[in-house]
């Protein structure tokens, strides 16, 4: 297959995918996506074969949809590749696993330029490289818009998987990675401010993959990746564990970058996120300005940072990148308020529901 | 999660998916899709964990798209579930692996009835059951049309994976499972003849999963599943192995059911498949009538039967379900004619290319 792929790599970026045909595209993807050390059979056969010396494999599938999760006028093809990979790879880390492989199903319009697919593959490969994984297989189809369904496979290396259901009263809650950066970045893009550095947090979230196995080794009792928002995702932990999680707003105080972004979005007059709430709602969590309130809202309810939130037994000494943000209390997780902030229910929507809300 | 799912199971089939919300749908799917013996962590956490005692996992991803691979007015939700599962599970069998698990990414319109999703899950579970697998995870999203991206995982149980590249001159070519039934079924549906028994071959292909490990144990040198058409898929084997494959039309003579279907489609006056070719092309492979020619065309170029084609060393005694259809010869697989019929190139398009042709 490498012969056909060489031709493509050295030239026809502006040609449409339909000029390659399905098998030409698969041959090209095979050349653009190098196998990894665990790839026993890679792209190009009926299926891939991956080494799983642990005797278990961790597996997850995630969609990334054009005009749902990304816009082609905002995201480069490489951005889309990074983000598509990150969504699945972060799920593996949140189980305490090291990512090993991706399978990528790509549906695309036939007039998509070959160069776009090449850059997408480069983004996928680069994000895999950050995580220690490689692309081992996939599928292609035509569709009116770009759509990816990415399956991640990972390795526990003898660790017990860290579930959502193990949090116990007395545990501390900690987070590794940024909160609210993706939501702030999306708000900046929506406001016509694409040059703010936080925009990258939306286009290319960079999950701290190795923090997942690290947390497992430290004895984490529960873990989840922040894909729908801190409150929503910790709500899943509270529900599954039958506990109440109490967050301390002081530990979640937005940094200067988020405050600056909130100010810029408000100043643009194009705050598409929550203009009504920003003007009329009382400042949540005791925030002292509308900008601080908006920034805290991004921290608590913004999704897609793919940072990791975990609970640890009391007394565990955590590395610096794990920031303690709350504690686990006894209490019913089914009350509708499985997560509280400073002991009080958070009264705004906690996060994202793909079927109940319009996609951005 | 079972509590929320119970409510759904006992009632709201006519409600739209949007009434459940994303998390309600996931809870429901979790209840509809029972875990299997190798499921260590199933649906509902960040990722699934599957036992892989062999120390390797076989993995494949396939799309199934509404109005591409199926039509909701022709296929029931259960049909779609069977077919979506079969596409991936057959790929695993074609490596010589026993299927163990599926991950199902489902995008659907928010107004899709809950009952449709429930029947889809039942079809997925039933086809998994045929193969010895179970659904262990997935994702949901909203989209204008139903779309599934299904990842299959399988187990080699110590076997060497059977690749496309191992066919050698002197080997025999054999097939397990029907050929042309799916194409005939699609033609019957297109012709407005949904009651012919072959229609089921299109709506619910039933791959002979256990023939895959059986072939591996018999020493198969190469194997592939028939998804794009016999000529196209054996062409991949010929290319990868650097050989020529010669099929014997006598061994591929269409049975009475296919001939009857071809006659019925022609009689309907609604042969949407190839009216021009049927009338003007010379009868291929020496077929003695337009119906025999059409039926042979289905056998040679019809996709989606998901039967298994394999090459075996000469002298291997094959079980009855493996029908010998040709031989492997020395020769270049890159000539554009890696597969010949009775020693002659087949001059019609050999099969399916998703980007070069319109989807049905």
Q: Is the pLDDT of residue A357 over 50?
A: no
SS3 B19: helix
Range of weakest confidence among A45-49, A74-78, A273-277, B313-317: A273-277
Read off the pLDDT band of A353 (50, 70, 90). Answer: low
Check residue B289 and give its pLDDT.
Answer: 87
Q: Tell which wins on pLDDT, B59 or A282.
A: B59
Tell me whether strands A172-176 and A308-312 are parallel, antiparallel or unpaired: antiparallel
Range of weakest confidence among B94-103, B178-187, B280-289: B280-289
Question: Residues of B with CB below 8 A from A160's CB?
Answer: none
Determine the residue of chain A that is closest to B224 in CA distance.
A46
Q: Is the pLDDT of residue B282 over 90?
A: no
ipTM of the prediction: 0.90
- Between positions 230 and 269 of A, the ones with CB within 8 A of B are 240
Q: Is the pLDDT of residue A315 over 90?
A: yes
pTM of the predicted model as reported, rounded to 2 decimal places: 0.91
Q: How far apart are CA B148 and CA A228, in angstroms?
A: 22
- Between positions 88 and 117 of B, the ones with CB within 8 A of A are 91-92, 94-95, 97, 101, 103-105, 107, 110
Question: Residues of A with CB below 8 A from B151's CB?
Answer: 59, 61, 103, 151
Taking only the tens place, the pLDDT of each residue in A129-187 is 999 999 999 999 999 999 999 999 999 999 999 999 999 999 999 999 999 999 999 99
Q: How far apart are CA B168 and CA B241, in angstroms?
A: 7
Can you name the residues that pair with B63 across neighbouring β-strands?
B149
Query: Residue B242 corresponds to which tokens in the numbers above?
Result: 């650097």
Please tell me whether residues B338 and B201 are part of one structural domain. yes
Please tell me whether residues A98 and A238 are part of one structural domain. no
Q: How far apart are CA B34 and CA B31, in angstroms?
A: 7
Check residue B335 and give its pLDDT.
Answer: 53
Chosen for mutation from A22, A61, A304, A308 (greatest number of chain B CBs closer than 10 Å) is A61
By the CB < 8 Å criterion, does B163 face chain A? yes
| B55/A53 CB distance under 8 A | yes
Read off the pLDDT band of A25 (50, 70, 90). Answer: confident
Query: Residue B119 corresponds to which tokens in the numbers above?
Result: 């029947």
Read off the pLDDT band of B270 (50, 70, 90). Answer: confident
Please tell me whether residues B149 and B181 are part of one structural domain. no
Which of B123, B155, B187 is the last residue in one of the domains? B155
Check residue A328 and give its pLDDT.
Answer: 98
Please tell me whether residues A8 and A79 are part of one structural domain. yes
- A172 phi and psi, to 5 degrees? -100, 150
Range of weakest confidence among A311-320, A336-345, B49-58, B231-240: A336-345
Q: How far apart are CA A61 and CA A153, in angstroms?
A: 9
The mean pLDDT value for B87-109 works out to 97
Q: Is the pLDDT of residue B9 over 50?
A: no
Domain, as residue range, for A68: 2-155
Q: Check if the beta carbon of residue B12 is closer than 8 Å to that of residue B27.
A: no
Q: Is the pLDDT of residue B284 over 70?
A: no
Check residue A24 and give its pLDDT.
Answer: 85
Q: What is the CATH number of the domain that holds A300?
A: 3.90.650.10
Q: How far apart are CA A347 and CA B258, in angstroms?
A: 64
Please tell me whether residues A72 and A178 are part of one structural domain. no
Check residue B126 and give its pLDDT.
Answer: 97
Check residue B25 and give its pLDDT.
Answer: 86
Question: Residues of A with CB below 8 A from B135's CB?
Answer: none
Read off the pLDDT band of A20 (50, 70, 90). Answer: confident
Q: How far apart are CA B29 and CA B123, in angstroms?
A: 12
How many folded domains does chain A comprise? 2
Chain A: closest CA distance from residue B56 (Å): 4
The mean pLDDT value for A209-229 works out to 97
By the CB < 8 Å criterion, does A151 face chain B? yes
Q: Strands of chain A (E only): list them.
A: 39-41, 48-51, 56-65, 98-108, 134-142, 147-155, 172-176, 222-225, 243-247, 308-312, 322-330, 339-341, 344-345
Tell me the helix, strand and coil percentages in chain A, rounded to 5.
35, 25, 40
Q: Is the pLDDT of residue A288 over 90?
A: no
Residue A265's CB is within 10 A of a number of other CB atoms, namely 27
Q: Tell which wins on pLDDT, B98 or B349.
A: B98
Please tell me whether residues A8 and A150 are part of one structural domain. yes
Question: Residues of B with CB below 8 A from A354's CB?
Answer: 22, 140-142
Check residue A331 and give its pLDDT.
Answer: 85
Radius of gyration of chain A (CA): 21
Q: Check if the beta carbon of residue A285 is closer than 8 Å to that of residue A334.
A: no
Tell me the helix, strand and coil percentages in chain B, rounded to 5.
35, 25, 40
Taking only the tens place, the pLDDT of each residue in B295-315 is 999 999 999 999 999 999 999
Check residue A270 and give its pLDDT.
Answer: 73
Please tell me whether residues A182 and A310 are part of one structural domain. yes
Residue A96 per-residue DSSP state: T
% of chain A at pLDDT higher than 70 = 87
Nearest to B56 among A50, A63, A225 (CB): A50
Tell me whether strands A243-247 and A339-341 are parallel, antiparallel or unpaired: parallel
Nearest to A293 by CA among A262, A331, A251: A262
Please tell me whether residues B52 and B111 are part of one structural domain. yes
Query: Residue A273 corresponds to which tokens in the numbers above?
Result: 């996120």
By the CB < 8 Å criterion, does B158 face chain A? no
Please tell me whether residues B126 and B227 are part of one structural domain. no
Q: Please indicate, yes or no, if residue B165 is contained in any of the structural domains.
A: no
Tell me whether strands B243-247 and B339-341 are parallel, antiparallel or unpaired: parallel
Q: Tell which wins on pLDDT, A194 or B24.
A: A194
Q: Tell which wins on pLDDT, B285 or B257.
A: B257
H helices present in A178-243, as ranges: 181-190, 199-203, 211-217, 230-241
| A141/B51 CB distance under 8 A | no
Check residue B355 and give its pLDDT.
Answer: 55
Please tell me whether residues B7 and B132 are part of one structural domain. yes
Please tell me whether residues B137 and B195 are part of one structural domain. no
Average pLDDT, chain A: 89
Cβ-proximal residues to A195 (8 Å cutoff; 6+ apart), any chain: none
Check residue B350 and give its pLDDT.
Answer: 63
Please tell me whether residues B211 and B340 are part of one structural domain. yes
Residue A249 per-residue DSSP state: G
Give the angle A85-A352-A186 at the CA atoms, nearest 5°: 65
% of chain B at pLDDT higher than 90 = 79
Q: How far apart are CA A210 and CA A130, in angstroms?
A: 10
Q: Strands of B143-265 (E only): list them.
A: 147-155, 172-176, 222-225, 243-247
Q: Please indicate, yes or no, if residue B113 is contained in any of the structural domains.
A: yes
Q: Strands of chain B (E only): list them.
A: 39-41, 48-51, 56-65, 98-108, 134-142, 147-155, 172-176, 222-225, 243-247, 308-312, 322-330, 339-341, 344-345
């Amino acid at each position: 297959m490498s012969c056909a792929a060489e031709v493509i790599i050295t030239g026809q970026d502006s040609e449409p995918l339909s000029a390659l045909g399905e098998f030409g595209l698969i041959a090209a993807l095979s050349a653009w996506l190098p196998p990894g050390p665990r790839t026993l059979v890679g792209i190009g056969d009926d299926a891939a074969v991956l080494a799983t010396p642990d005797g278990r494999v961790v597996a997850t599938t995630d969609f990334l949809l054009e005009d749902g999760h990304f816009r082609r006028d905002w995201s480069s093809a490489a951005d889309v590749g990074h983000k598509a990979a990150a969504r699945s790879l972060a799920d593996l880390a949140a189980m305490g696993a090291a990512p090993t492989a991706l399978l990528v199903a790509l549906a695309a319009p036939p007039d998509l330029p070959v160069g776009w697919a090449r850059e997408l593959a480069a983004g996928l490969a680069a994000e895999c490289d950050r995580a220690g994984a490689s692309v081992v297989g996939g599928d292609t189809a035509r569709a009116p818009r770009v759509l990816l369904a990415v399956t991640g496979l990972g390795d526990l290396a003898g660790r017990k998987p860290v579930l959502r259901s193990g949090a116990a009263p007395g545990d501390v809650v900690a987070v590794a990675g940024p909160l609210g950066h993706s939501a702030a970045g999306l708000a900046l893009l929506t406001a016509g401010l694409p040059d703010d550095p936080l925009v990258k947090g939306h286009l290319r979230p960079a999950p701290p993959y190795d923090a997942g196995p690290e947390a497992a080794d430290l004895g984490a009792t529960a873990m989840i990746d922040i894909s729908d928002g801190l409150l929503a995702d910790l709500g899943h932990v509270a529900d599954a564990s039958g506990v109440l999680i109490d967050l301390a707003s002081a530990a979640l105080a937005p940094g200067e970058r988020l405050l600056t972004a909130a100010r810029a979005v408000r100043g643009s007059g194009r705050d598409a996120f929550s203009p009504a709430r920003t003007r009329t709602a009382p400042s949540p969590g005791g925030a002292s300005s509308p900008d601080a309130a908006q920034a805290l809202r991004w921290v608590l309810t913004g999704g897609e940072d793919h940072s990791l939130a975990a609970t640890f037994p009391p007394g565990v000494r955590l590395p610096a990148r794990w920031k303690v943000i709350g504690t686990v209390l006894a209490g019913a997780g089914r009350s509708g308020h499985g997560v509280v902030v400073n002991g009080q229910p958070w009264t705004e929507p906690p996060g994202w529901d793909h079927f109940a809300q319009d996609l951005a």
